[in-house]
Amino acid sequence: MRAKKAAAVVLAGVMSCTAISGGISVSAEEAFGEKDPASYEADLTMMVHTTDQPNFMIEKFNEVYPNIHIELVVVPAGEQQEKIMNMVAAGDDVPDLFTSRTQFVKAIVNSDQYYADLNSEPYNATDWTSAIEPYVVGVGTDTTGALRALSWQCPVGGIYYRRSLAKEYFGTDDPAAMSEKFASFDSILETARELREKSGGEVKFDGDALTGLMYLGITNAGGYMKGNVLNTGDEVRELFEVAKTMYDEDLTGKFYNDGQSSVAAKGEGKIFADEKPTWGLTNDILINLPEQAGDWGLASGPYPYTAGGTWIGISQTTEHPEEAYLFLKFILTNEEFVYDYAVNFGDYVSNMNVQQKVASLPAEEAEKLNIFTFLGGQNAYEYWNGELAKGVNPEAFSPYDEFFGKYLLAAMEAYAVGNLSLDEAIAQYQSECQNYAPSIELE
């Protein structure tokens, strides 16, 4: 009897210890989303730079979690990084959730001051992040392996082109044939020259070759930075040379920093192609040129690439980690919502299950997505899935992309218009970047 009592005491002790030590994580895991959704109550704030998509997310989220209220704090895109850093430094009014554009997300993610680590306590998000596109996870992961931010979108790129112009000047509007014509920078130049000859110089290959080339080439070049060294290698120099040729031979519209004129020229049928990622279709071409629905196609460029996108994470200082986490998880993994979002916005989502689902939609269902009809029935998801399968390198992103991209474009333009020689333009680019970030090294 005494032995039984002793055993019972030991067993009780062991159980208590288990409950105390492991119980925190068990109860936390249970607490995070295990309760009745209506029982969660909180007022959250979320800093964003645009409202359409977040409002849609909140509306859908509230259909499941009606008592978690999320107030948007809208900050202009260009001021977002400064705002986040200052707010966290001051420790005042830091929102529970905040977004970071890809141009500076690494600056936020690589610091342990801003976003909480989603892989550790109390979040333990490891069980569902495998559903998210790996490069998106890679960008949101810091140098120590902590996952701090994720994106609901996956902005891979391509080259959009006018089908009617393709038929007129090249005899085909087939995306596969166009992809061959865009297979390298040399073939792009050849295509642009052919277009110039056949159109008598009326139709330019693109509106803004500088930005287009930067999109097409910088991911493949390994990004603006290689480790702590500014990348001015051969691939980057090639962008300068191609831009110069495009300008010298009058192959491009030269509408750098003049988006309105570029749109007007597209409207007049004077621009053949537009090198842009996913959002370029929904936020630019489709919105500005609705009358050209059905007359655009999408083909691969020389390299798979990605540009832009918005990441989101949870503030380290949030007082509502569970509710913030539920929102984050909802917009990324609730497949019903993600599908609705994809259909409504035409955005390419980061959830791989939904990527496959949309890519394999039967034709009558696919018509629900206006991006498909805009692209003349082409399944953009199928194309984007194909580009992602070629591989996008998450290492191609640096904390300085916002400004280094601007400096690169300014230097490319200075060379293209003849204000500077190639070496002078590269030197200017290096000088600007080092002035912005004195700790970087130059090649």
Partner 1 sequence: MTRKKVNFGILFVTPFLLGLLVFRLLPFLYTFVISFTNWNLMMGEKSFTGLDNYKRLLSDKNFYIALRNTVKIWAMNIVPRLGIALLCAVLFAQCRLRGKSFFKMVFYFPNLVNSATVAVLAAMIMGWQSGVVNRFLMQIGILEEPVYWLGQASSAQGIVAFVTWWMWFGYSAIMFTTGILNVPASYIEAAIVDGANAWQRFWRITFPLIRPTIAYVFLTTLIGGLQNFEIPRVITDGLGAPDKSLLTMVMQMHTIAFKSMQYGYGSAFAMGIFVVTAVFAAFSYRMINKKEE
Positions touching partner 1 (CB under 8 A) are: 82, 85-86, 89, 107, 111, 113, 253-255, 257-258, 260-261, 264-265, 399, 403, 406-407, 410, 413-414, 417, 419-420, 428, 431-432, 435-439
Shortest gap between Cβ of 112 and partner 1 (angstroms)? 9
Tokens of 19: 């409950």
Shortest gap between Cβ of 415 and partner 1 (angstroms)? 11
Nearer to partner 1, 107 or 343 (CB): 107
Are 384 and 348 in contact, with CB atoms under 8 Å apart? Answer: yes
Shortest gap between Cβ of 354 and partner 1 (angstroms)? 35
Shortest gap between Cβ of 104 and partner 1 (angstroms)? 9
Tokens of 220: 């493949």
d(CA 359, CA 366): 9
Nearer to partner 1, 82 or 395 (CB): 82
Nearer to partner 1, 36 or 93 (CB): 93
Nearer to partner 1, 40 or 403 (CB): 403
d(CA 162, CA 292): 9
Whether omega before 122 lies within 30 degrees of 0, making that bond cis, reads yes
Nearer to partner 1, 390 or 406 (CB): 406
d(CA 113, CA 110): 9
Nearer to partner 1, 70 or 139 (CB): 139
Residues in Cβ contact with 309 at an 8 Å cutoff, skipping those fewer than 6 apart: 101, 102, 136, 151, 153, 154, 155, 277, 279
Shortest gap between Cβ of 291 and partner 1 (angstroms)? 20
Shortest gap between Cβ of 202 and partner 1 (angstroms)? 14
Shortest gap between Cβ of 84 and partner 1 (angstroms)? 10
Nearer to partner 1, 72 or 414 (CB): 414
